[in-house]
Amino acid sequence: MKIKKSVMWSGQMLIEIVVAVGIIALVLVGVSDLMTRSARVTTFQRQKDEAFTISQRLLNDYRFQRDSNPQVFYDSAVGTILDPCVSGKTYVCTVSMVKTLEAVLVTVKVEWGDGGQTFNISLSQSLSREIK
């Protein structure tokens, strides 16, 4: 009888090991998926922050142009300009200017691609015309 029991126990031990390895594999797949998603989110947030900084810099440049020579800035404000943004980066900037009687509405849109998708961020500011 003891021989049959030991054979039966050794088979049960093998099944327990296979089940344990399967559970460990499932846990590791879940952890690796979580790490991949976390890395993707971190990359996206870094790119978004960089795009926001680029758009703020461009708005500051236009504000400086307005402050330096308001009349020339107002007279030269035209439709849409494609700005190279930053050399060596994957960002594309579009600057739109809408002129009214009292101000120029400057809108900066920064686009970038990640994972086959295109994302963008847009900032606007109304730059008032100097009143003399």
**Tens-digit pLDDT profile for residues 71-116:** 888 888 888 887 777 777 788 899 999 998 888 999 999 999 888 8
pLDDT of residue 2 exceeding 60: no
Q: Which of 123, 80, 125 is nearest to 104 (CA)?
A: 125
Q: Which residues pair with 103 in a beta bridge?
A: 128
pLDDT of residue 56 exceeding 60: yes
**Per-residue DSSP letters for the chain?**
-HHHHHHHHHHHHHHHHHHHHHHHHHHHHHHHHHHHHHHHHHHHHHHHHHHHHHHHHHHHHHHHHHHH-HHHHHHH--SEEEE--STTSS-EEEEEEEE-SSEEEEEEEEEEEETTEEEEEEEEEEEEPP--
pLDDT of residue 131 exceeding 80: no
